[in-house]
Amino acid sequence: MTPTDPATPQTCPVSAGTAPATDTTDPLVVDLPLRRPGVPFPPPHYADYRNHEGLVLSHLPDGRRVWLVTRHEDVRTVLTSPEISSNPAHEGFPNIGATGGVPTQDQIPGWFVGMDSPEHDRFRKALIPEFTVRRVRAMRPAIERTVDAQLDAMLAAGDTADLVADFALPIPSLVISSLLGVPPADREFFESRTRVLVSLRTATDDDRMAATKDLLRYIGRLVEIKQKWGGDDLITRLLATGSIAPHELSGVLMLLLIAGHETTANNIALGVVTLLTNPQWIGDERAVEETLRFHSVADIVSLRVAVEDVEIAGQLIKAGEGIIPLVAAANHDENVFACPHAFDPSRSARSHVAFGYGVHQCLGQNLVRVEMEVAYRKLFERIPNLQLDVPLDRLGIKYDGVLYGLHQLPVRW
């Protein structure tokens, strides 16, 4: 076990890095933290960025400049500033991919994560009842059955498995399918299309366009079926409220399908590795929140653009300049989390920003917590002798996508 292993806590105190010379009129210019093969996560230079006065400047693949925000306090400020927008239609919105970009309302109506208040509020209000603690609690028995069924299949198949493909991915995927009323057999279809949309380097514009069209066509058909036949599912309930037009449902449902499985899957898989390397925390429910903070899989998800000149941490950001709040950097800010690189479920991790912050804070967070709690509890109860089947430093880590995670997780028992 070395400090460069992705799921390995480093001992405290950890070097905060070497603070570069500070000069707010001449910001530090750094690489965009997208591809980091062989580098630990979060990248150690995040500590340098946090220590740098003001903000850090980077360049997007298209050559435009973008501000990186790394301190916990500054990330929260960015995510709640009225001068800063989530709308990708605004000039200067950061496009972090080598290709493509974030969809606009013209392309996908109802893609509400890309809207600002007050437009955003109508969608959020319609969806909140679907994700309350109470509603999610009612889903728990079904989530337990889903987790048990995956474990039954894994155990029946032998004494090894790929915990990503056989466990971490199917669970959130099946849960979101059942919530939306998507037939379980279609899971492979939307997983494959989502994979294209969240990969930054390997997918071309044509691939993204084709995946988006496939998903929209599929969702359109699904909505038609629900309009005709109804069902005990989110789509039918949303249609009944009348607050979201059927054509806007395409963006809403696509967002839920995309947001709802890769994120959780990455978190479940990385958390299993961390628990295997820190077995004293197996069975402790507090591990869920700390895993979310520790791994911060959605590091570069909350993209923003300034729509008016605004000052953040003493740095002037001009209207039209892009901003990337790096939530993994904020969640490892030593001013908020003592010994941030140590995996310590006994700490109070609730103030983490792994789910973002402000009006766009993750709508699925209650669901995620239950999925993770059930997944860890049942996995370690039913397979107490679970072990990694590959050395830690050989794990296939996803460093080049929107989300941080694992490609595979070979295990045996």
Tell me which residues touch ligand HEM (CB under 6 A).
86, 112-113, 124, 172, 176, 255-256, 259-260, 263-264, 267, 297-298, 301-302, 354-356, 360, 362-364, 367-368
Contact 257, 176 (CB under 8 A): yes
Show the tokens assigned to 139.
Answer: 């889903």
Q: Which is nearer to ligand HEM, 176 or 198 (CB)?
A: 176
Q: Which is nearer to ligand HEM, 48 or 130 (CB)?
A: 130
**DSSP assignment letter at 260:** H
Could you tell me the smallest distance in angstroms from the CB atom of residue 62 to ligand HEM?
Answer: 20
Q: Which is nearer to ligand HEM, 27 or 274 (CB)?
A: 274
Q: Which is nearer to ligand HEM, 181 or 260 (CB)?
A: 260
Rounded to whole angstroms, the Cα distance separating 148 from 377 reads: 11
Q: Which is nearer to ligand HEM, 27 or 172 (CB)?
A: 172
Could you tell me the smallest distance in angstroms from the CB atom of residue 172 to ligand HEM?
Answer: 6
Could you tell me the smallest distance in angstroms from the CB atom of residue 256 to ligand HEM?
Answer: 5
**DSSP assignment letter at 362:** -
Cα dihedral across residues 25, 30, 33, 38: positive or negative: negative
Could you tell me the smallest distance in angstroms from the CB atom of residue 267 to ligand HEM?
Answer: 4
Tell me the residue number closest to ligand HEM, measured at CB.
364
Q: Which is nearer to ligand HEM, 127 or 154 (CB)?
A: 127
Of the candidates 88, 85, 89, 31, the residue with the CA atom closest to the CA atom of residue 61? 31
Q: At what angle do helices 365-382 and 287-295 cross, to 10 degrees?
A: 110
Rounded to whole angstroms, the Cα distance separating 411 from 27 reads: 45
Tally: H helices and E strands in the chain: 13, 13
Rounded to whole angstroms, the Cα distance separating 209 from 214 reads: 9
Q: Which is nearer to ligand HEM, 47 or 136 (CB)?
A: 136
Could you tell me the smallest distance in angstroms from the CB atom of residue 160 to ligand HEM?
Answer: 26
Could you tell me the smallest distance in angstroms from the CB atom of residue 102 to ligand HEM?
Answer: 9
Distances (CA, A) of 379 to 52, 172, 391: 42, 15, 20
Could you tell me the smallest distance in angstroms from the CB atom of residue 243 to ligand HEM?
Answer: 15
Could you tell me the smallest distance in angstroms from the CB atom of residue 340 to ligand HEM?
Answer: 17
Q: Which is nearer to ligand HEM, 44 or 405 (CB)?
A: 405
**DSSP assignment letter at 199:** B
Of the candidates 75, 71, 59, the residue with the CA atom closest to the CA atom of residue 19? 71
DSSP 88-146: TTSTT----SSS--PPPTTTSTT-GGG--TTHHHHHHHHHGGGGSHHHHHHHHHHHHHH
Q: What are phi and psi of 272, to 5 degrees?
A: -60, -45
| Amino acid of residue 91 | E
Q: Which is nearer to ligand HEM, 360 or 378 (CB)?
A: 360
Q: Which is nearer to ligand HEM, 249 or 367 (CB)?
A: 367
Q: Which is nearer to ligand HEM, 208 or 293 (CB)?
A: 293
Count the residues in the chain: 413
Distances (CA, A) of 17 to 46, 47, 142, 315, 342: 8, 6, 46, 22, 16
For 95, what's the count of Cα atoms within 13 Å in the CB-facing half-sphere?
Answer: 19
Could you tell me the smallest distance in angstroms from the CB atom of residue 245 to ligand HEM?
Answer: 18
Could you tell me the smallest distance in angstroms from the CB atom of residue 324 to ligand HEM?
Answer: 11
Could you tell me the smallest distance in angstroms from the CB atom of residue 19 to ligand HEM?
Answer: 28
